[in-house]
Chain A
């Protein structure tokens, strides 16, 4: 059974960098699939951040592209998100997910990140 689990700081200061990790169990990242991030501000809808193949091919949301880095560590079977220069607008629940051929088919439970001084 494939499972994903997000981890990282729950509080980030404005202008700093948000860093999250998604640990994958029950499946080897290097076997295939894309691995991605989606976020949801409190009371609002879902926003796709981006997703990445284990070998490096990446798709990113143009509205966030310059601030986002998604990377994969096959040795640890995990992938990560870095979002630079955060503001209060980046406060959200952040989900990691596996992207199958067509869609995000397996999701983590989500982790809340608040941007505040």
Chain B
């Protein structure tokens, strides 16, 4: 079984800050890693797929990088609408369970 370790679990930041969230897989998953954003009471929204590909309609301030076991989601300049929870998810063979999530709050 592949375990995903996401950090930090919570993060406080200000408008305009650059923010990085990391996700580590317990074994090599190549670039089969996705990132989602979820706002309270809403369904998750796909941001990044295949580690670094931006989903259609997602602002370019979001970016993803990494391969193998270590991945990052970066928001280059935080906007008010970016305060939400973020989840990583592998899409590797039969392993698709989510990381535990990062709650991004306003400082």
Interface residues of A (CB under 8 A from B): 38, 45-48, 51, 59-62, 95, 97, 100, 102-105, 107-110
Closest CB in chain B relative to A57 CB, distance in Å? 11
Closest CB in chain B relative to A26 CB, distance in Å? 16
The reply to whether B49 and A102 form a contact with Cβ atoms under 8 Å apart is yes
Residues of chain B with a CB closer than 8 A to A62's CB: 1, 94
The chain A residue sitting closest to B100, CB to CB, is A45
The reply to whether A46 and B101 form a contact with Cβ atoms under 8 Å apart is yes
Residues of chain A with a CB closer than 8 A to B53's CB: 102
Closest CB in chain A relative to B31 CB, distance in Å? 9
Number of A-B contacts (CB under 8 A): 59
Q: Of A45, A51, A61, A102, which is within 8 A of B34 by CB?
A: A102
Top-7 shortest CB links A-B: A107-B43, A103-B34, A103-B49, A46-B98, A102-B49, A45-B101, A48-B96
A109 to B44, CA, bound (A): 9
Within 8 A of A (CB), among B19-51: 32, 34, 36, 38, 42-46, 49-50
The reply to whether B96 and A105 form a contact with Cβ atoms under 8 Å apart is no
Known contacts: A45-B87, A46-B87, A48-B89. The answer to whether A103 contacts B98 by CB under 8 A is: no
